[in-house]
Amino acid sequence: MQGVDLHTHSNISDGTLSPEQLVRAAGEIGIHTLALTDHDTMDGLSLAEGAAKDLGIKLVSGVEISSQWSRPATKKNYGVHIVALNMQHPEPLLALLEQQKQIRAVRAKQICDLLIPLIGEDIYADVVAKVDNVPDRVTRTHIAKTLVEKGYVSRAQQAFDKYIKEGKKAYVKFDGLGLEETIQVIHASGGFAVLAHPTRYDLSATNIRYLIEIFAQFGGDAVELPPAVEPLGTRQMVDRMIAEHGLKVSVGSDFHGDNMPWIRLGNIPRVKEGQAGIWESFV
């Protein structure tokens, strides 16, 4: 499915292009249907609309929600990203995002506080400066970048591995809304709920299958197809789960600009015979 990208980030969260620059970049490579899906915020949408109109690009409202689910068998809570697309009346979702933003702002400060004894410096002011001093836009990507710039690590990935990923001393869980409620609020806003990057949560195959199963049970609409870099067996397993549960598919690059230069805008997986694209349901 050429010309569609339903998972992208701008500098309103942890991308590097402004929403307007993102739309222009999409126009240059022939994208006709684009969703801006920043983390827990839809603040970039209005900034992207003018350029999209100029270029005749269908700009789909979107957001990537930090949600969570649990598996009774393991008694563990897992983070999961739900991409909400094409909201027709976004008010219920916007109310939820206000809570998510608060969680994000508080967590940014908590992570920086936990880093103080580890690096001997409070980097909070520098971190928040990366997002126009709006604390509720801070992601761990910004914290990782700040740690690189200050010389505490040499690459962003190292900041995650050493300090801020799960299990490390400055990790703070994102205590977001549960999976079922997230899907309900998206539907109450007239949008579609998409399970983002199912193979990127460090889950066992059994847990990926369980996650897709409960996502479908809770009324989720579509699953993102994993990128071609994932092992064939994993991609086929996701394809089987999508078919088994009658889910649609979504396609997105998860573009982050220069923060993840190896991901190219518009680079999306191939849709297989018999799979129904969620974009075909957009009004």
Q: Which of 1, 4, 14, 212 binds Mn ion (CB under 5 A)?
A: 14
Distance in Å, CB of 128 to ligand AMP, minimum: 13
- CB burial of residue 65 (10 Å; 0-12, 13-18, 19+): buried
Distance in Å, CB of 43 to ligand AMP, minimum: 15
> Other C-beta atoms within 10 Å of 211: how many?
22
Q: Which of 10, 16, 61, 139 binds ligand AMP (CB under 6 A)?
A: 139
- Segment interacting with ligand AMP (CB under 6 A) among 83-91, 117-125, 152-160, 267-275: 152-160
Residues 28-47 touching ligand AMP, rule: CB under 6 A, are 39
Q: Where are the beta strands (DSSP E) in 130-201?
A: 192-195
What are the start-end ranges of the H helices in the chain?
Answer: 19-28, 45-55, 91-119, 124-129, 140-149, 156-159, 179-188, 205-217, 232-244
SS3 state at 98: helix
* Residue 144 tokens, joined: 């990782």
Residues 197-216 touching ligand AMP, rule: CB under 6 A, are none
Integer Cα distance of 181 and 164 in angstroms: 27
Residue type at position 216: A
How many amino acids of this chain bind ligand AMP (CB under 6 A)?
Answer: 12
Integer Cα distance of 57 and 5 in angstroms: 11
* Residue 22 tokens, joined: 């993102």
Nearer to ligand AMP by Cβ, of 47 and 156: the residue is 156
Q: Is 224 in the site for Mn ion (CB under 5 A)?
A: no
DSSP-assigned letter for residue 115: H
Integer Cα distance of 258 and 255 in angstroms: 9
Distance in Å, CB of 246 to ligand AMP, minimum: 28
SS3 state at 94: helix
Q: Which of 61, 141, 199, 275 binds ligand AMP (CB under 6 A)?
A: 141
Q: Which of 33, 66, 146, 253 binds ligand AMP (CB under 6 A)?
A: 66
Q: Which does 165 bind (CB under 5 to 8 A by kind): ligand AMP, Mn ion, none?
A: ligand AMP
Q: Where are the beta strands (DSSP E) in the chain?
A: 4-5, 33-35, 58-60, 62-71, 76-85, 192-195, 222-224, 248-250
Nearer to ligand AMP by Cβ, of 79 and 92: the residue is 79
Integer Cα distance of 188 and 186 in angstroms: 5
- Segment interacting with Mn ion (CB under 5 A) among 96-104, 173-181, 201-209, 246-254: 246-254
Residues 222-261 touching ligand AMP, rule: CB under 6 A, are 256
Q: β-strand 222-224 against 192-195: which pairing, if any? A: parallel
Distance in Å, CB of 54 to Mn ion, minimum: 26
Q: Which does 5 bind (CB under 5 to 8 A by kind): Mn ion, ligand AMP, none?
A: none
Q: Is 254 in the site for Mn ion (CB under 5 A)?
A: yes
Residues 70-109 touching ligand AMP, rule: CB under 6 A, are none
Binding interface with ligand AMP (CB under 6 A): 14, 39, 66, 139-141, 156-157, 160, 165, 174, 256
Binding interface with Mn ion (CB under 5 A): 14, 64, 81, 196, 254
